[in-house]
Amino acid sequence: MQHSMQHSNKESSTKQSMTGALAWVFAVCSGLSVANIYYAQPLLDSIALEFHLSTATIGLVITITQICYALGLLLLVPLGDLVNRRKLILIQMILSAFALIVVGTSASPSLLFAAIAMVGLLAVITQTFVAYAAHLSADSQRGSIVGRVTSGIVIGILLARSVAGLMNDWLGWRSVYLFSASLTLISVFVLGRMLPQRSFKQSKLGYLQLLASTLRLYRELHVLRIRGLLAMLIFMSFSILWTAIVLPLSATPISLSHAAIGAFGFAGLAGALAAAKAGKQADQGSGQKTTGISLMILVLSWIPTSLLHTSLWFLVVGVILLDLAVQAVHVTNQSLIYQVRPEAQSRLTASYMIFYSIGSAVGSIISTQVYASSGWRGVCILGAGVSITALLVWIADRLSERFVAARRDH
C-alpha cells in the first residue's frame, strides 16, 4: 500500500506543470490562433476591392484556409506525440506570425493566397495546445483544464469576426493580420518563459507510422468513433446557425449592420464560459449525463431561434442555449477520449477534430442553400434535425452499452 501511495504521489508530482496561470495562457493563445482562420470572413469585400478580384475568386480565401486547416489536423497535430511539444508550439507560433505579416503586406493575389494557406495550416497549433494541456494536467483536473482552454478557442471563434470588422472600418483589412502577428509574437515571448522545461520521451514511431497510427485509432477505439460522430453533428448544427444567421439579420425588415450582427457573438460567450464546468463534470464521472442533458438543450435551442422574426431576444436565448450545449458536449468528448490513450493525446486530438472540420464545412455549405430555398424556418428545421440525430446517436450508444453489460452479467 505504501508503494502504491508513493507511486501515486510520484505520478501526481509529474503533472504539476499545468498551473492555473498557464491554463489561462493556453486559453488566450488558443483563441488568438484559431481566430486567424475566421478573420477573413468579414474582410472579403475589402480584399476583393483592393486586388480587383471577383466574388467567386475571393471566396477561395475561405476555402483555402479551411482545407489547409484540415490538412494541418492530419499532418501537424500528431507531431505532438513525436517531438517535444514545447519546441513544436514555439516554432509554429513564430512561423504563424511570419505568415500573418506576409498576408498583411502582400502585394499580389498569389502571395496573399499562399500566405493565407500557411495561416490555415499553422492555426492547428490551437489543437496542440489542447493536447499539451491534457498531457500536463493531473487526471482529476484534465476535463476542467481542457474545458478552460476550449473556452478560449470558442471565444476566439466568436469574437474574430467582430474584431476584424471593426478594425477593417477603422484601419483597413491589413491591420487585422498585422495586429494578430504582433499578438502572436508577444505570445511566443510569454510561452517561452512559462512552458515547462521538462524532458521529452521520444516516440519510437516514425512520422509515416505516426500518421498511420492516427487513422488506426478509429478502428481501435469505440469511444473515439462515437464521440467523433457526435462532434461532427454538433458542429454541423453550430455551423448551420452561425453561417446562415447573417442572411435574415442583414435583410429587410431587420437590416442590421455587420457590426451589430457580429455583436450576437457576445451572446455565445455564455456558452463558451460554461465549457470548463462541463469538463469538471466529466472529471467527476458524469460525462454521459452531461452529454445527454446538453444534447436535449441543443435540440430545444432551435425553438427560440426559429422565432427570430418575432423578437431578436428569442434569437439571443437560442444562441446562448446552442453554444452552451455544443461546448459542453465538445469538452466532455475530449475529456472522455483523452482517458483511453494518455500516450496518444495529440493523435487523438487530430482524429477527433477531423470530424469537427467535416461537420463545420458541411453545415456551412448546406445552411445557405436551405436558406435560399426555404428561408429561416427551413434553416431551423435543418438545425433541429441534425441536433435530434446527435441525441439519437447518443441514446443508441447508451442502450447498446447497457445491452452488452446485461449479456455479460448473465
**Per-residue model confidence as pLDDT tens digits over 308-334:** 999 999 999 999 999 889 988 998 998
> Of all residues in the chain, what percent carry a pLDDT higher than 70?
91
The structural architecture, per CATH, of the domain 205-409 is Up-down Bundle (1.20)
- In this prediction, residue 12 has a pLDDT band, given cuts at 50, 70 and 90, of very low
Look at residue 185 and tell me whether its pLDDT is greater than 50. yes
pLDDT tens digits, one per residue of 228-274: 999 999 999 998 998 788 788 878 888 887 667 767 777 777 766 76
Q: Report the run of H or E that residue 308 belongs to, with start and end.
A: none
| AA letter at 74 | L
Alpha-helical regions (H) of 203-286: 207-220, 222-244, 246-250, 258-262, 264-273, 275-283
Q: What is the mean pLDDT of residues 180-202?
A: 86
Is the predicted pLDDT of residue 393 greater than 60, yes or no?
yes
- Which cell numbers hold the place of 161? 469576426
Model confidence at 365, in pLDDT bands (50, 70, 90)? confident
Cα 15 to its chain centre, rounded Å, is 25
C-alpha cell at 286: 458524469
**Mean pLDDT of the residues in the chain:** 85
The whole-angstrom separation of Cα 297 and Cα 291 is 10
Q: What pLDDT shows up at residue 203?
A: 64
C-alpha cell at 123: 492555426
| Upper half-sphere CA count for residue 247 (Cβ side, 13 Å) | 19
Contact 308, 248 (CB under 8 A): yes
* More confident position, 190 or 43: 190
- The pLDDT tens digits for 110-132 are 999 999 999 999 999 998 998 88
Amino acid 6: pLDDT: 42
Q: In Å, what is the CA distance from 210 to each residue of 3, 14, 90, 252, 254?
A: 35, 25, 21, 53, 51
Q: What is the CATH number of domain 21-197?
A: 1.20.1250.20
**Rounded to whole angstroms, how far apart are CA atoms 147 and 137?**
12
Q: Inform me whether the pLDDT recorded for 275 exceeds 80.
A: no
| Residue 362, burial from CB neighbour count under 10 angstroms (0-12, 13-18, 19+) | middle
* Rounded-to-10 torsion of CA 273, 276, 282, 283: -160
Q: Does the fold of domain 205-409 match that of domain 21-197?
A: yes
pLDDT at residue number 317: 93
Say what the pLDDT of residue 9 is: 42
What confidence category does residue 11 fall into, taking pLDDT thresholds of 50, 70 and 90? very low
pLDDT in the model for residue 13: 40
- Per DSSP, the three-state class of 92 is helix
- Cα angle, residue 80 at apex, residues 14 and 362 outer, rounded to 5°: 125
pTM of the model: 0.79
Helix (H, G, I), strand (E, B) or coil at 257: coil
| Length, in residues, of the chain | 410
What grid cell was written down for 158? 466568436
**What is the predicted pLDDT for the residue at 276?**
62
Domain ranges of the chain: 21-197, 205-409
Position 164 confidence tier, pLDDT thresholds 50, 70, 90? confident
pLDDT of residue 202: 58
Rounded alpha-carbon distances, angstroms, from residue 122 to 96, 116, 118, 401: 6, 10, 6, 39
Angle between helical axes of 173-194 and 44-51 (0-180°, round to 10)? 120
pLDDT band at 7 (very low <50, low <70, confident <90, very high): very low
Phi first, then psi: what are they for 175, rounded to 5°?
A: -60, -30
Give, as one character, the DSSP assignment of residue 140: T
Q: Rounded mean pLDDT of 167-176?
A: 89
Q: Look up residue 46 and give its amino acid.
A: S
Enumerate residues 6+ apart whose C-beta is below 8 A from 226. Answer: 393, 394, 397
Place of cell 481542457: 146
Residue 358, pLDDT score: 87
Q: What is the mean pLDDT of residues 364-378?
A: 88
pLDDT at 226: 96
